[in-house]
Amino acid sequence: MMESLAGNFLISTPRMPDPRFQEQVIYLCAHNDEGAMGLVINNPNPEITLLDVLHGSGLNIPNGILPPVYMGGPVEMDAGFILYCNETADRYSIEIKPGIYLSRDSRLLEDISQGKGPKDFLFMLGYAGWGAGQLETELIDNSWLTVPGDVDVLFHTPDAQKWRLAAQKFGIDISIFGDIIGYA
């Protein structure tokens, strides 16, 4: 069994064969013998806004600029997820790594609508999932690069820069990554 990659970024390499994941960064939320689950953090949905989600749920609209809704992945695209940074979790969240939580609880969305929620969060629809051994095969095929997850990239980097910056923080130029891979 490989060590869990939860809390790490998966950065698609130029060798990524699936066009849905080209130049994408996924934050891995779970990884074990049964498979993996993660959320795409740099793919805002052009068709739905957080205003739409809040209004459709009958919730208040907070003051200020609302963040985008992200397409978290191609699985269960009607399922909502909130990835957030906070000092403490609520009881309906799971801790991915210290200070980073994942929730599907509508009460957290209600708190956000009332200005009481976490300051740093991403709202996703859908997720990326892998069956047992599937992610490991994609890693062996050099479709993904793994690096430690970074709060600044997650919550404070413009979406268009996340793919390059997530790798660049570790001295990697992801745009040429596929050209320099070798086998011993």
Residue with tokens 């805002």: 44
- Residue 128 has a CB neighbour count (10 Å cut-off) of 24
Q: In this predicted structure, what is the pLDDT of residue 148?
A: 96
Q: In this predicted structure, what is the pLDDT of residue 20?
A: 92
Three-state secondary structure call for residue 20: helix
CATH topology for 8-54+68-83+122-179 is VC0467-like (3.40.1740)
Three-state secondary structure call for residue 125: strand
Do residues 83 and 117 lie in contact, with contact meaning Cβ atoms separated by under 8 Å?
no
Q: In this predicted structure, what is the pLDDT of residue 181?
A: 46
What are residue 138's phi and psi, to 5 degrees?
Answer: -65, -35
Q: Please report, for the chain, the start and end positions of each structural domain, with discontinuous segments joined by +.
A: 8-54+68-83+122-179
DSSP state of 179: G
Q: In this predicted structure, what is the pLDDT of residue 2?
A: 67
- Residue 158 has a CB neighbour count (10 Å cut-off) of 8
Structure tokens at 125: 């629809």
What does pLDDT average to in each consecutive run of 10 residues of the chain (184 residues)?
Answer: 88 92 97 96 95 91 90 95 87 90 93 90 97 94 94 96 94 75 44
Q: Which helix (H) or strand (E) holds 165?
A: helix 159-168
Q: In this predicted structure, what is the pLDDT of residue 179?
A: 53
Do residues 101 and 122 lie in contact, with contact meaning Cβ atoms separated by under 8 Å?
no
How long, in residues, is the chain? 184
What are residue 16's phi and psi, to 5 degrees?
Answer: -60, 115
Q: In this predicted structure, what is the pLDDT of residue 156?
A: 96
